[in-house]
Amino acid sequence: MDTKKSIHGEWSSRTAFILAATGSAVGLGNIWKFPYITGENGGGAFVIVYLLCVALVGIPVMMAETLFGRRGRENPVHTMAILTKEANADEHWPYLGWMGMIAGVLILSYYSVIAGWACGYVLKAIDGSFFGVDAQGAKNLFMAFTASPLQLLFWHTGFMVATMFIVARGLSQGFEKSIHFLIPGLFLLLFLLVGYAMTTDSYFQGLHFLFNPDFSKLTGNAILVALGQAFFSLGIGMGAVMVYGAYLPKKVSITETITIIAVADTVVALLAGIAIFPIVLSNGLPLNSGPGLIFESLPIAFGNMFGGWLFGILFFVMLVFAALSSSIALIEPAVSWLVENKGMERGKACWYAGGVTWLLGFGSALSFNVGADVTVFGKTFYDLLDYLTSNLMLPIGGFCIAIFAGWMMGQAHSEAELAMAKPLHYQAWRLLIRYLATTAIFVVFLSVVGVV
């Protein structure tokens, strides 16, 4: 097993892996979702819980998922089957790969709808819609846009076609290159927006909201949302990282690379928050605007800053690309499963997986307009899918990964894969994965179900 290479080849370098995995991690989750759920959940205290979830649960689980991938070197279902056999564990473990695949398709179905909004906003940026816009104008723009089922379905379709086109051409080809400019470009634009936020009269108020914890605002559900967001944002708990790990050369240190990726991912989310909240507050926008938050606030910045026309276009183009690099990771587990387990040709597998995802996306697209009143448990189709995937499937997936890595897999195997320089570091990881990660996820679940 030690000499096994991925049947798909390997990343050309450690940097290539870091860029691709960061491309998967950094996406709408950081720039669109983190600010809006932070707004909905009261700010500072939520952010602290989120950071703790990333550091103490997210990073150890992400390391575990990567090491599974590198050890198994195949799609998540196969990889889990191989590791299950090696560990002599219960034959049902490969279902973990299944759940991840399904979670990926479900997430992509609505992720693509939101990415479609970003596509639509590229056009709005180009045609000058943001010029001199105020809070009410930006809100009207967003409402008019999302009220149109046709527009949302059009962009959702376009985004899915682009995603499947790239996936059909194979994973690492060509794509590595585009990420080289994507991540640095995104950082630059976020810094620019932070610069603009500094010129508003609510900069410090925004920082206060984001970093000054008021624990009285923290609910049990907010903790679950923070945990779910840690999984969502890092892109873990569903096999995507396992797929990328399968391409990772043996010599590369998992600990170092995963830490770099997690830190970069977190910095992007925090920068987005630092840029957005001052704009929201200084324009009197509600903090809990929900999924529309960045679309209602950032146009004000672009419409009123120097060079805003160009920066607005660049920003939304970057956002679309960041979403693309995540979408590819979301669908890859399903596609590689169809290819490897069902013997399908890659192009055909993309049609199948992409087609199902695209159709499911209709439910989410319509839940922002004509289907807004269709609710189950008081949630729209989009809300329901988001809850099901981020707050249930990903944490359950993460829990199972932690159990498998900490309790099923032989210590010698995980130790060999992680190959840490200091035995103490390995022990720390093992403690976190065996006890802390598992207990934390379990307790958060119980508390939400009302048992604790």
Task: List contacts with ligand PFF (CB under 6 A).
Answer: 24-25, 27-30, 104, 107, 232-233, 235, 238, 240, 326, 329-330
Angle at which helices 308-342 and 149-168 pack, to 10 degrees? 60
Contact 66, 245 (CB under 8 A): yes
Question: DSSP character for 215?
Answer: G
Nearest approach, Cβ of residue 55 and ligand PFF (Å)? 17
Hey, is 414 helix, strand or coil? helix
Nearest approach, Cβ of residue 111 and ligand PFF (Å)? 7
Nearest approach, Cβ of residue 269 and ligand PFF (Å)? 8
Angle at which helices 220-234 and 438-449 pack, to 10 degrees? 140
Rounded to whole angstroms, the Cα distance separating 322 from 23 reads 6
Question: DSSP character for 291?
Answer: G
Exposure string for 209-226, b = 16+ CB within 10 A, e = fewer: bbeebeeeebeeebbbbb
Q: DSSP letter string over 216-285? A: GG--HHHHHHHHHHHHHHHT-SSSHHHHHHTT--TTS-HHHHHHHHHHHHHHHHHHHHHHHHHHHHHTT-
Nearest approach, Cβ of residue 186 and ligand PFF (Å)? 12
Q: Which contacts of 15-18 are long-range, i.e. CB under 8 A and separated by 24 or more positions?
A: 16/172, 16/176, 17/244, 17/247, 17/248, 17/249, 17/252, 17/257, 18/257, 18/260, 18/261
Number of Cβ within a 10 Å radius of residue 127:
10
Contact 349, 357 (CB under 8 A): no
Nearer of residues 238 and 400 to ligand PFF, judged by Cβ? 238
Nearest approach, Cβ of residue 36 and ligand PFF (Å)? 13
Nearer of residues 27 and 299 to ligand PFF, judged by Cβ? 27
Q: Which amino acid is at 72?
A: G
Nearer of residues 30 and 283 to ligand PFF, judged by Cβ? 30
Closest-approach residue to ligand PFF (CB): 29
Nearer of residues 112 and 304 to ligand PFF, judged by Cβ? 112
Nearest approach, Cβ of residue 385 and ligand PFF (Å)? 13
Nearest approach, Cβ of residue 50 and ligand PFF (Å)? 13
Nearest approach, Cβ of residue 265 and ligand PFF (Å)? 7
Nearer of residues 238 and 418 to ligand PFF, judged by Cβ? 238
Nearer of residues 266 and 297 to ligand PFF, judged by Cβ? 266
Nearest approach, Cβ of residue 207 and ligand PFF (Å)? 23
Nearer of residues 240 and 276 to ligand PFF, judged by Cβ? 240
Contact 49, 223 (CB under 8 A): yes
Nearer of residues 230 and 281 to ligand PFF, judged by Cβ? 230
Rounded to whole angstroms, the Cα distance separating 328 from 332 reads 6
Nearer of residues 218 and 238 to ligand PFF, judged by Cβ? 238
